Amino acid sequence: MSNNTHERAQQLIAQRRIEGVSADEQSWLAAHLVECDLCSAVDAQTGAALSVLRSTQIELPRNLASRTQLRVRLRADELNEREPGRRLLWALVAISWMIGVATAPLVWSGFEWVGNEFGLPKVVLISGMALWWLVPGLLVTGAVVIQKEKTQREAE
Contact 39, 32 (CB under 8 A): yes
Alpha helix stretches (DSSP H) within 19-36: 23-35
Q: pLDDT tens, 48-89?
A: 988 888 888 888 888 888 899 999 998 888 777 766 667 777
pLDDT reading at 13 higher than 80: yes
Q: pLDDT tens, 110-156?
A: 888 988 899 989 888 888 888 887 887 788 788 878 877 887 787 66
